[in-house]
């Protein structure tokens, strides 16, 4: 009897344990949590209106029903929060029946979004980069927008040359972009250059090597680079490469590395041997590298044009940027408007499983326009996807103004994408290796040739 009672007790306890483990809630709890985390960011608009079109050419949905859309977007610093808040405030005016519930995206290389896709829990609207776009297109987790209502108008409103940020290489549209084609430049500290007797801008490699020696003699790191992130070493390489090969990595179609790549690798290696980089460069993050530059420990910094605002804030009139040096002055002049940047599709995309797909598409296009509008009008940043017909509110920093007046009207080319993941990964690895002593341009050539032979069969 005791034995039986014990068995019953033990079985009941086990069953309770299992049941309690299973009852912790799934999707509903998550949704409640998502909603709870974003009350400040929700553009709540309980009163429906009859809005049908807006001044940006995007037609508003005909429905008057309140619509709630979950959006997965970056929202973690001023660069991401301010445009989002601006766009949401504008949305409230244009589509008051739409409520956005923000699910702030993680800086996790798209993992959370992929988990949503794998578990069938996709947000209505999400920010997608090209890598995610390709994977989601293959698994039908992203809406094809080729024939969507706002697409034709959006395409016609693109700034000249910005087609690559909206149209994929196979000719489709999966997202509405807000950023234009961004590129990398070399920032330099004018005061340090003057103190070391280095003339700016540096135009040739010989001048660059000479400058390195002058900075080193003064105990200054010639160039700060946050090469713990592989992409920046890759961009540095591309900066050298595009002097000779404006197409960039799109030229990697054969089984062997073209001459321009070998030359760029050799120049990279020579600059390293001359002492351009800090010995700890591949272990330096952005905060460390920018701090070196802004505290006067480094003479130059390589980063995208978006660094202009931060550089202006930290160094004021002591900072400027320069084009990439080339093998000689003639090449420098001929190639300085070959920009070290390649646009790739990215922006706001829509889930095909959204219950309010049509509205979500309209909202995605609207948000992209408003993000661009914020950057243009509030920051004076002209590098946005679409034309903005509103006046600039903020005066852009002098460096940005120089970019606007001198560079953007004269851009000759942007580099083009290479779609092969293995080739891009190999470039990331081997350009980072080039920064390290002991790894030569010959090693770079050998490794890349092996990958090219394997991938471009």
Partner 1 sequence: MRHYFGNKWAIAAFALPALLLYSLVVSYPVVQSLYRSFFEWDGIGAGTFNGLSNYAELFRDPLLATSLRNGGIFALVLVVFQIGLGTILALVCADIKIKGRKVLKVGYFIPVVLSVTVVCQLWIAIYDPTNGLVNRLFELVGIPYRQNWLTSPAVSIIAIAFVNAWQFMGYQFSLLYAGIKSIPEQYVEAAIIDGCTKWGAHRRITIPLMAETFKFCLIVAITGGIGAFVQMLIMTSGGPGTTNFTLTYMIYRYAFSEFEYGYACAVSVFLVAISLLATVIINRLFRQERMTY
Q: Which residues of this chain interact with partner 1, rule CB under 8 A? A: 3, 6-7, 10-11, 13-14, 17-18, 21, 109, 111, 114, 117-118, 131, 135-136, 138-141, 228-230, 278-283, 421-422, 425, 429-430, 432-433, 435-439, 450
Tokens standing for 151? Answer: 């697409």
Of 117 and 265, the one with the shorter C-beta distance to partner 1 is 117
Minimum gap (Å) between residue 47 Cβ and partner 1 = 39
Residue 3: Cβ within 10 Å count: 7
Between 97 and 432, CB nearer to partner 1: 432
Helix (H, G, I), strand (E, B) or coil at 383: coil
CB nearer partner 1, residue 156 or residue 285: 285
446 contacts: CB under 8 Å, gap ≥ 6: none
Beta strands 221-224; 298-304: pairing state: parallel
CB closer to partner 1 out of 8 and 32: 8
CB of 10 to partner 1, least distance (A): 4
- Cβ 24 to partner 1, closest distance in Å? 14
For residue 91, the Cα-to-chain-centroid distance in whole angstroms is 24
Burial class (CB in 10 A: 0-12, 13-18, 19+), 406: exposed
The CB-of-136 to partner 1 minimum distance in angstroms stands at: 7
CB of 442 to partner 1, least distance (A): 15
8-state DSSP, 385: S
Backbone phi and psi for residue 24, each to the nearest 5 degrees, phi listed first: -75, -5
Provide the 8-state DSSP code for 389: -
- Of 110 and 343, the one with the shorter C-beta distance to partner 1 is 110
**Strand-pair partners of 67:** 98
15 vs 330, which CB is nearer to partner 1?
15
| Shortest distance (Å) from residue 17 CB to partner 1 | 5
Closest Cα to residue 444, out of 270, 233, 261? Answer: 261
Cα angle 338, 339, 340 (rounded to 5 degrees) comes to 125
Give me 15's structure tokens.
């069953």
- Taking the least distance from each CB to partner 1, the nearer of 118 and 334 is 118
Q: How far is the CB of 363 from partner 1 (least distance, A)?
A: 24
Give phi and psi for 100, each to the nearest 5.
-100, 135
Q: What is the largest CA-CA distance in the chain?
A: 100
């Amino acid at each position: 009897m005791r034995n039986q009672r014990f068995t019953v007790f033990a079985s009941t306890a086990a069953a309770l344990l299992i049941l309690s483990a299973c009852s912790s809630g799934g999707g509903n709890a998550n949704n409640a949590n998502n909603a709870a985390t974003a009350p400040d960011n929700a553009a709540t608009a309980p009163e429906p209106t009859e809005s049908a079109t807006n001044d940006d050419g995007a037609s508003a949905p005909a429905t008057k029903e309140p619509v709630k859309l979950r959006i997965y977007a970056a929202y973690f610093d001023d660069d991401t929060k301010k445009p989002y808040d601006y766009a949401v405030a504008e949305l409230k005016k244009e589509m008051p029946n739409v409520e956005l519930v923000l699910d702030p995206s993680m800086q996790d290389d798209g993992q959370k979004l992929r988990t949503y896709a794998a578990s069938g829990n996709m947000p209505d609207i999400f920010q997608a980069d090209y890598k995610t776009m390709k994977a989601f297109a293959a698994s039908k987790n992203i809406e094809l927008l080729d024939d969507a209502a706002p697409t034709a108008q959006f395409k016609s409103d693109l700034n000249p040359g910005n087609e690559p940020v909206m149209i994929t290489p196979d000719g489709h549209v999966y997202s509405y972009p807000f950023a234009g084609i961004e590129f990398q430049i070399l920032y330099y500290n004018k005061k340090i250059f003057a103190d070391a007797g280095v003339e700016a801008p540096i135009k040739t490699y010989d001048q660059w090597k000479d400058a390195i020696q002058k900075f080193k003699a003064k105990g200054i790191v010639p160039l700060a680079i946050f090469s713990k992130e592989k992409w920046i070493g890759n961009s540095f390489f591309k900066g050298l490469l595009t002097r000779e090969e404006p197409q960039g990595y799109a030229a990697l179609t054969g089984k062997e590395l073209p001459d321009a790549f070998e030359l760029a690798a050799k120049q990279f290696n020579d600059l390293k041997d001359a002492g351009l980089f800090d010995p700890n460069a591949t272990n330096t993050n952005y905060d460390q590298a920018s701090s070196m530059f802004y505290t006067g420990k480094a003479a130059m910094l390589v980063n995208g044009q978006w660094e202009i605002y931060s550089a202006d804030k930290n160094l004021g009139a002591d900072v400027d940027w320069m084009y990439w040096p080339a093998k000689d002055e003639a090449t420098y002049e001929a190639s300085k408007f070959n920009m070290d940047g390649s646009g790739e599709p990215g922006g706001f995309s829509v889930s095909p499983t959204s219950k309010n797909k049509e509205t979500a598409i309209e909202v995605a296009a609207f948000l992209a326009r408003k993000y661009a509008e914020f950057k243009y009008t509030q920051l004076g940043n002209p590098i946005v996807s679409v034309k903005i017909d509103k006046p600039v509110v903020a005066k852009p920093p002098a460096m940005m103004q120089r970019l606007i007046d001198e560079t953007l009207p004269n851009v000759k080319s942007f580099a083009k994408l290479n779609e092969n993941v293995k080739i891009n990964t190999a470039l990331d690895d081997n350009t980072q290796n080039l920064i390290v002593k002991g790894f030569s341009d010959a090693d770079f050539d050998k490794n890349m040739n092996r990958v090219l032979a394997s991938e471009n069969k």
